[in-house]
Amino acid sequence: MPTTNYKILIKEVRGCSICMPHLPMGPNPVFRIHPKARILVAGQAPGRKVHESGIPFDDASGVRLREWMGIDKDTFYDPKKVAIIPMAFCFPGTGKTGDLPPRKECAETWRTELISVLPEIKLTLAIGIYAINWHLKDSKKKNLTETVKSWEEYLPRGILPLPHPSPRNNIWLKRNQWFEEEVINELRLKIKSLLS
């Protein structure tokens, strides 16, 4: 069992207000952890809808992500099976082309400590470029597409880089049909083996 009491850590993170001056809707940290979780979903940051509901991936992105993983809502939201730690926990606001990038303070302040209380994680889904950059660091390729194409290189380390499941990525998915044919099949097999 980790040395840090994960319940105390959850309370500390939920009470975080480091970014308050920069958050258009104020702080509402959205994440889920439990020391028994075997899968870590590392997303980007909550969108407006998720920020309001307080439920991670409670949107179209979540529907697609659960389809990719081949699991239902009950399984996805069971923190003893799936931990969900985005790169930033609160809605960062909206820019000209969509949501702003995740604020860096969350990862810098909390990420290492949160992951340290998850000793059973066997597979990390690094979703989107911000999570890929953090989890793969110098081993990532020149862009998201090349990194995702190299998924077999990272899987033995327990990391699977994925594009964001947002509907905004429909064009990418159409251009890269190999992703659903190769990566999704492997992802579902891996998830099934970890949850059985």
- Sorted by where each starts, the structural domains of the chain and their CATH numbers stand as 6-195 (3.40.470.10)
Residue 125: beta bridge partners? 41, 160
CA dist 31 → 119, 158, 169, 183 (Å): 17, 20, 23, 25
The span from the CA of 83 to the CA of 68, in Å, is 16
* CA-derived radius of gyration, the chain: 16
- Note the pTM of the prediction, 2 decimals: 0.94
Q: What pLDDT tens digit does each residue of the chain (196 aa) get?
A: 344 689 999 999 999 999 988 999 999 999 999 999 999 999 999 999 999 999 999 999 999 999 999 999 999 999 999 999 999 999 998 888 788 899 999 999 999 999 999 999 999 999 999 999 999 999 999 999 999 999 999 999 999 999 999 998 999 999 999 999 999 999 999 999 999 8
